[in-house]
Amino acid sequence: MDSATLTVADGLAVLTLNRPQAANALDVALKTALLDAVRSIAADDAVRAVLIRAEGRNFCVGQDLGEHADALSRSPERAMDTVAEHYNPLISGIAALEVPVVAAVQGACVGAGLGLALAADVVVAAESASFATAFTAIGLASDSGLTRTLVDAIGAVRTRAFILLGTTISAAQALDWGLIAQVAADDEAAATAEAVARRLAAGPTAAFAAVKSLVAASLPPLDEALERERAGAIPLAATADHTGAVEAFLAKRRPAFTGR
Ligand SMILES: CCCCCCCCCCCCC/C=C/C(=O)SCCNC(=O)CCNC(=O)[C@H](O)C(C)(C)COP(=O)(O)OP(=O)(O)OC[C@H]1O[C@@H](n2cnc3c(N)ncnc32)[C@H](O)[C@@H]1OP(=O)(O)O
C-alpha cells in the first residue's frame, strides 16, 4: 500500500497520507513519498490548488518513534539527519508552493504533523481534532520553522507555554488562538475542506500567488529557522532524556527526566 497518494484533476492536487494503521506516523517511506509528491506538484502547471488530507482516525502523529528509536540505537548524532533530508525540504517545499494549500485535519495533529499542517495556507479541522507539539515530551525542542510559525500565529507567550507544557489543544482552541482557519462538524469537515480547496482551484491563481508571496515576505525567512532547528536537534538527540523518553513511549510507560 502506498504511504502517500497523489491525484490531480480539475486543477486540484489531492495529497493523502495513507498510513492509517500507524496513525500516519512519519517513517522514511511516508516522508519520501510526501517529498516526491510535493516536488511533483511544484512542477505541474496544471495544479491550481492543493488539498493535504489523511486516511484514518488521525491526521499525523509526527515522527514514527519506532523508526526513530532504531535510528537512535545506531547513532544519536545521525538520528536527526531526517530533519535536513526529509522534514526541512518537505515543509519548505509546501510553504514555497505558489498555489493555495488546504489541510484537512482530523484526530491527532502532532509534532512534525503539526508542522506539516501549518505549512498549508488554510487549515480546516474537524471539531474533535486536537493539536500538540509533543517535542518536549520526548526531550526534543522545536527550534525550527514550526517555532517561528507558532510565534507568528499565536505569539511568543502562548507558543512558549504550548511547547514547554506540551499542551494538547482542541480545534476550537486552535481556531480561537488563530492557529487554524476553520472548524467543521466531524461528519462535514472532510467535505468542507475539499470544497474550500476546489473553490481555490477555480479561483484567480495568479492573484493567489501574489497574496502568498506578500504574506511570505512579511514573515521571517523559514530556512534560517529550520537550519537553526537542525543545529539544535542533534545535541538533544544524544541526551539521556530524549532516548529514555522515546523508549518510555514505546514501552507505554511515563518517562522520568533527569535533565541530562
Ligand atoms: C511553514 C511551516 C512551518 C513548519 C516547519 C517545521 C516543521 C518541521 C518539524 C521538525 C521535525 C523534527 C523531527 C520530528 C519530530 C516529531 O514529530 S516529535 C513528535 C513525535 N510524535 C509524538 O511524540 C507523538 C506520540 N504519540 C502520542 O502522544 C499519542 O499517540 C497521541 C498522538 C496523543 C494519540 O494518543 P491516543 O489517541 O491515546 O492514541 P495512542 O494509543 O497513543 O496511539 C495509537 C497508536 O499509534 C501509535 N503511535 C502514536 N504516535 C506514534 C508515533 N509518533 N510513532 C509511532 N507510533 C505512534 C501508538 O503507539 C499506538 O499504537 P498501538 O499501541 O499499536 O495501537
Nearest to 14 by CA among 91, 109, 99, 90: 99
Closest ligand 1 atom to the C-alpha of 118? 2
Laid out side by side, the sheet with 101-105 consists of: 4-9, 12-17, 49-54, 101-105, 122-126, 182-184
Strand (E) or helix (H) holding 197: helix 189-201
Q: How far is the CA of 115 from the centre of ligand 1 (A)?
A: 12
Q: Which of 30, 52, 109, 110 to mutate to test the pocket of ligand 1 (most atoms within 8 A of CB)?
A: 110
Written as nine digits, the cell of 139 is: 526531550
Residue with CA closest to ligand 1 atom 34 = 108
CA of residue 138 to ligand 1 center, whole Å:
10
Report residues of the chain scoring pLDDT below 70. 143-144, 222-234
Q: Could you tell me the distance, in angstroms and rounded to a whole number, from the CA of residue 209 to the centre of ligand 1? A: 33
Look over the chain and give the mean of its residue pLDDT values, rounded to a whole number: 92
pLDDT of residue 231: 59
CB under 6 Å to ligand 1: residues?
22-23, 25, 61-66, 83, 87, 91, 95, 108, 110-112, 115, 118-119, 134-135, 137-138, 140, 144-146, 149, 222, 229, 249
Confirm if 38 and 5 have CB atoms less than 8 A apart.
no
Q: What is the pLDDT of residue 230?
A: 59
How far does the centroid of ligand 1 lie from the alpha carbon of residue 111, in Å?
7
pTM for the whole thing? Answer: 0.93
